[in-house]
Structure 1
Amino acid sequence: MANTDKDISYSDLKSLREKSKDLLLVDVRSKDEVDRGRIPGSIHIPLDNVEKEFSLDAHAFQEKFGVPKPLLDSRDLVFHCQMGRRGGAATEKARSLGFKNARNYAGGYKEWSDKEGK
């Protein structure tokens, strides 16, 4: 099943958000889902676009998303979806592009919104 070093928990994400100024949280859900609510500070890159967008050079990525493209060894690259499955797939895609420490917030937006009372 899920490989634990690739998945982070709600509490992991909360502490990353407090400690890491470089955290890049990528929401890979559909635009409709994101429009209904999102984790503050996340950027939206639908799952089908992950490979294309993370293949952009650093300048183009920054221009498009308004945030620096993470370094390949960044420990601050986290993907999430609604329930965990697409986030896991996005994490695998990022890892295949060389982002070897990319991780998935396995609880997804569903857990976040439940815990945050949204």
Structure 2
Amino acid sequence: MKQLSVKEVENLLKEKQPINIIDVREVDEVATGKIPGAIHIPLGLLEFRMQELDKAKEYIMVCRSGGRSASAAQLLDYHGYKVINMTGGMMLWEGPTE
């Protein structure tokens, strides 16, 4: 599975790179702030909502610490999606939030 560090994702945002981020945390966790532009799909709903995603795009998966996002990345990868796990999760995120 491909992985990026929190700093690498922050740099992609700073460079205004076109990236697609999916935050798989729960609603109460996302209420404390998420990466600007991230799509919120809780991990428990991902299997039911994956058809909303475009298999031609690459998605960066995000959670609190990197564990749930790794599970989400494995699930999507199994179904043919291009995914990257952000290691360290929002616990290490120092960039902007919304």
After superposition, give the CA deviation of every residue in 1:77-116 in whole Å (9 maximum; x if it has no partner): 11110001001000001101101x301111211111xx23
Distance 2:96 2:12 in 1: 20
Q: CA RMSD in A?
A: 1.9
- 1 or 2, which has the higher strand percentage? 2
Residue of structure 2 aligned with 1:116, choices 92, 95, 98: 95
| 1:107 aligned onto 2:91 | no
Q: Deviations over 1:9-47 (max 9, x none)?
A: 1222123323532x1100000000001111111110000
Q: What is the rounded CA distance, in whole Å, between the counterparts of 1:16 and 1:116 in structure 2?
A: 11
More helix by share: 1
Q: Deviation string for 1:58-90 (max 9, x for gaps)?
A: xxx3xxxxxxx3334x3x311110001001000
Gaps of 5+ in 2: none
Q: Which amino acid aligns with 2:79?
A: L
Are 1:15 and 2:15 matched, yes or no?
no
Q: What is the identity, as a one-letter code, of the residue corresponding to 1:70?
A: D
TM-score (norm 1): 0.71
Matched positions, count: 96
SS in 2 for 1:51: helix
Aligned identity (percent) is 31
Most deviating of 43-52 and 83-92: 43-52
State the alpha-carbon separation in 1 of the partners of residues 40 and 96 from structure 2: 22
Which has more radius of gyration?
1
Q: Is 1:47–1:90's contact at 8 Å kept on the other side of the alignment?
A: yes
Structure with higher RCO (Cα < 8 A, 6+ apart): 2
